[in-house]
């Protein structure tokens, strides 16, 4: 082993890279849980190609003494499974990167530097355990050994992870993991690789979850008892999560034959008194737009989770983007109100999804929860999820004789009854209708009905979730962001460390909270950061508030912003 000293004290980023099918995600799932259980703060995310086999994918795990919640470019420890995997992340490798690999297979050119390479015979160690398929578990053991995880804890965790498989598979995985664990400890017996990250015993009891499970937990907290969806990455994980907990929480789960059927099932469920949602991505949502118009006309609540990915068409189905805001804002023909939420953190995802059901029920409108692949696939530990204050508020009324489903009111909100609850008759029709719900050709009444539906907007603005300011209120430069850019912007601004720089994060992007314009007007320079090509939220600020942002930082490659990237680009825009 070369004379390597590795002693970054506070925060270490570990990247594993290999082909699809080599078990990179298995390594991530085992290690994130194991490291958290051992008292380390962790953050995990992945980027992957749209392939079942081949290509090159990578997963990043940050291990830190403090809470970490965002992606970085820096690689402190790299474990590439082959040369293509190394080349895939080579632009992020620095002279400080420690590379753990099978050196002769990775570096065929004798002239390539190997000063910071630890040579481990991954193939031989996997073969000893039962075959090449166990190479990823060997890598898991190597990382566990580097971070000095308790050997018994490691073995137990691997055994638990593979529980349910045949005994031989469990045994071979434990053997493979221990082979990697023992090898790195043998090579490092002199302690030249010194990872000295502080552990916190309290972290072991914290919750480790990703965006998909956070959306699912929020849905359960919001009283969701029906979900219909057609599988589409990256939204499918929410359907899977709720299906896994359906018996426990009384949720009807329907994998529909297509997206059109899914959203119409959900509308039917709301009409019958359920609290329903659909989970989809951009291409699937495009098929749902006619039903969104139906929801607008019959004033039906509906909760739509839209996990964004790059388009148009199939685009990059396993990558991330914030390109669907305009699609959601204009979805459905005609004019009717809607609410658009965009959680930026895992806590936000729980809270926003819970709120979505109450807001949909209260205002009888579609409520959209916009996430993306990055947020859906990101893990980190949080202290707890406080569900005690998350009440399920229902606005259904018991009908009586003479009940009018679309009664004209000053607020625009008519009492919503459901068939069979009370003695009144509940009528709904996709044509324009009178107060009873019957089709009408009265053009004056048509105007009054449109005005009634749009009147909800004022109350919706007053109930809007306000944008969240991070930084000194006496800022001169204000950075704006929405959705999953939240944590990476926060860390970038923390690294920049300027008192005149603040960040305004939009958890709700429509309708905008009334205080929004006050925040914007106080800044000498406003910089918008978005994961799309056309600054879609900036366009909404212009449309709704007649406000022009001064600078934009945009990314639409299919990858999320990194902390280092934003530090550089924000400094450039500040001048």
Q: Are residues 361 and 226 in the same domain?
A: yes
| Residue 6 located in a structural domain | no
Looking at 144, 172, 205, the residue that finishes a domain is 205
Distance separating alpha carbons of residues 393 and 416, to the nearest angstrom = 14
For residues 146 and 219, membership in a common domain is answered with no
Q: What is the pTM of this model?
A: 0.96
Tens-digit pLDDT string for the chain (575 aa): 455 556 556 899 999 999 988 888 889 999 999 999 999 999 999 999 998 888 899 999 999 999 999 999 999 999 999 999 999 999 999 988 999 999 988 887 765 666 788 999 999 999 999 999 999 999 999 999 999 999 999 999 999 999 999 999 999 999 999 999 999 999 887 666 778 899 999 999 999 999 999 999 999 999 999 999 999 999 999 999 999 999 999 999 999 999 999 999 999 999 999 999 999 999 999 999 999 999 999 999 999 999 999 999 999 999 999 999 999 999 999 999 999 999 999 999 999 999 999 999 999 999 999 999 999 999 999 998 888 889 999 999 999 999 999 999 999 999 999 999 999 999 999 999 999 999 999 999 999 999 999 999 999 999 999 999 999 999 999 999 999 999 999 999 999 999 999 999 999 999 999 999 999 999 999 999 999 999 999 999 999 999 999 999 999 999 999 999 999 999 999 98
Q: How many residues does the chain have?
A: 575
Query: Could you tell me which of 101, 61, 30 has the C-alpha nearest to residue 195?
Result: 61
Return the structure tokens found at 389: 């204050």
d(CA 73, CA 563): 7
Rounded to whole angstroms, the Cα distance separating 23 from 25 reads 5
- What's the 3-state SS for 497-517? CCCCEEEEEECEEECCCCCHH
Token digits for 427? 């009528």
For 294-304, letters b (16+ CB in 10 Å) and e give: bbbbbbbbbbb
Q: Evaluate whether residue 371 is within a structural domain.
A: yes
Distances (CA, A) of 100 to 86, 153, 210: 11, 23, 27
Q: Domain holding 349: CATH number?
A: 3.40.50.970
Based on the domain organization, do 184 and 257 belong to the same domain?
no
CATH of the domain at 84: 3.40.920.10
Question: Is residue 371 located within the same domain as residue 234?
Answer: yes
Only one residue has tokens 């995600």, namely 25
Say yes or no: 41 and 73 in one domain: yes
Domain match, 293 and 344 both: yes
Query: Both 187 and 258 in a single domain?
Result: no
Task: State whether 167 and 220 are in the same domain.
Answer: no
Cis ω for the linkage preceding 511 (within 30 of 0) = yes
Q: What is the CATH number of the domain that holds 567?
A: 3.40.50.920
320 and 295 in one domain? yes
436/402 Cα distance (integer angstroms) = 9
What is the pLDDT, as a whole number, of residue 196? 80
3-class state of residue 303 by DSSP: strand
Nearest to 339, CA basis, from 320, 364, 321, 322: 364
Look at residue 418 and tell me if it is in a domain: no
Range of the domain at 38: 11-205
DSSP conformation class of 207 = E
Domain boundary among 344, 361, 382: 382
Residue 453 falls inside a structural domain: no
- The DSSP result for 239-271, as a single string, is HHHHHHTHHHHT-EEEE-SSHHHHHHHHHHHHH
Number of domains in the chain: 3
Considering the domain architecture, whether residues 474 and 544 belong to the same structural domain is answered as: yes
Domain ends where: 364, 382, 400?
382
pLDDT value for 1: 47
């Amino acid at each position: 082993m070369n004379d390597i000293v590795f002693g970054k004290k506070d925060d270490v980023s570990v990247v594993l890279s290999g082909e699809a099918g080599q078990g990179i995600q298995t390594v991530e799932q085992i290690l994130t849980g194991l490291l958290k259980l051992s008292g380390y703060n962790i953050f995990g995310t992945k980027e992957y190609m749209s392939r079942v086999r081949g290509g090159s994918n990578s997963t990043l795990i940050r291990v830190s003494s403090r809470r970490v919640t965002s992606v970085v470019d820096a690689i402190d420890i790299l474990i590439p499974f082959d040369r293509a995997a190394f080349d895939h992340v080579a632009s992020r490798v620095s002279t400080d990167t420690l590379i753990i690999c099978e050196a002769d297979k990775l570096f065929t050119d004798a002239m390539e530097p190997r000063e910071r390479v630890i040579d481990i015979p991954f193939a031989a160690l996997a073969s000893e355990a039962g075959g090449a398929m166990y190479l990823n578990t060997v890598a898991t053991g190597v990382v566990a050994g580097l971070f000095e995880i308790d050997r018994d804890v490691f073995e137990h965790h691997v055994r638990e992870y593979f529980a349910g498989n045949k005994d031989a598979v469990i045994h071979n995985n434990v053997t493979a993991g221990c082979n990697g664990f023992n090898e790195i400890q043998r090579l490092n017996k002199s302690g030249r690789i010194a990872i000295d990250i502080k552990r916190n015993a309290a972290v072991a009891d914290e919750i480790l979850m990703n965006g998909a499970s956070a959306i699912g937990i929020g849905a359960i907290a919001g009283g969701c008892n029906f979900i219909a969806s057609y599988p589409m990455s990256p939204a499918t994980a929410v359907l899977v999560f709720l299906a896994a907990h359906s018996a426990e929480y009384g949720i009807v789960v329907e994998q529909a034959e297509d997206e059109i059927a899914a959203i119409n099932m959900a509308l039917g469920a709301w009409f019958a008194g359920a609290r329903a949602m659909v989970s989809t991505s951009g291409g699937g949502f495009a098929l749902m737009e006619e039903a969104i118009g139906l929801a607008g006309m019959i004033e039906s609540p509906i909760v739509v989770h839209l996990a964004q990915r790059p388009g148009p068409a199939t685009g990059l189905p396993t990558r991330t983007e914030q390109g669907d805001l305009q699609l959601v804002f204009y979805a459905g023909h005609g004019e009717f109100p809607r609410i658009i939420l965009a959680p930026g953190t895992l806590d936000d995802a729980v809270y926003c999804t819970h709120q979505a059901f109450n807001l949909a029920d209260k205002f009888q409108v579609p409520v959209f929860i916009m996430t993306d692949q990055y947020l859906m696939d990101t893990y980190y530990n949080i202290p707890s999820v406080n569900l005690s204050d998350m009440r399920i508020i229902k606005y259904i009324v018991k009908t009586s004789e003479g009940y009018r489903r679309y009664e004209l009111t000053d607020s625009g909100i008519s009492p919503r009854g459901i068939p069979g609850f009370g003695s009144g008759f509940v009528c709904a029709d996709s044509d324009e209708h009178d107060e009873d719900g019957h089709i009408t050709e009265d053009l004056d009444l048509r105007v009054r009905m449109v005005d009634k539906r749009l009147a909800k907007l004022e109350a919706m603005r007053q109930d809007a979730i306000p944008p969240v300011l991070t930084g000194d209120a006496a800022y001169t430069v204000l950075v704006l962001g929405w959705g999953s850019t939240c944590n990476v912007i926060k860390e970038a601004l923390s690294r920049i460390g300027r008192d005149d720089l603040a960040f305004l994060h939009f958890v709700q992007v429509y309708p905008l909270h009334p205080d929004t314009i006050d925040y914007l007007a106080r800044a000498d320079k406003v910089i918008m950061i978005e994961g799309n090509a056309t600054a879609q939220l900036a366009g909404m600020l212009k449309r709704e508030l007649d406000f022009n942002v001064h600078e934009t930082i945009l990314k639409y490659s299919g990858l999320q912003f990194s902390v280092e990237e934003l530090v550089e680009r924000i400094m450039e825009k500040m001048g």
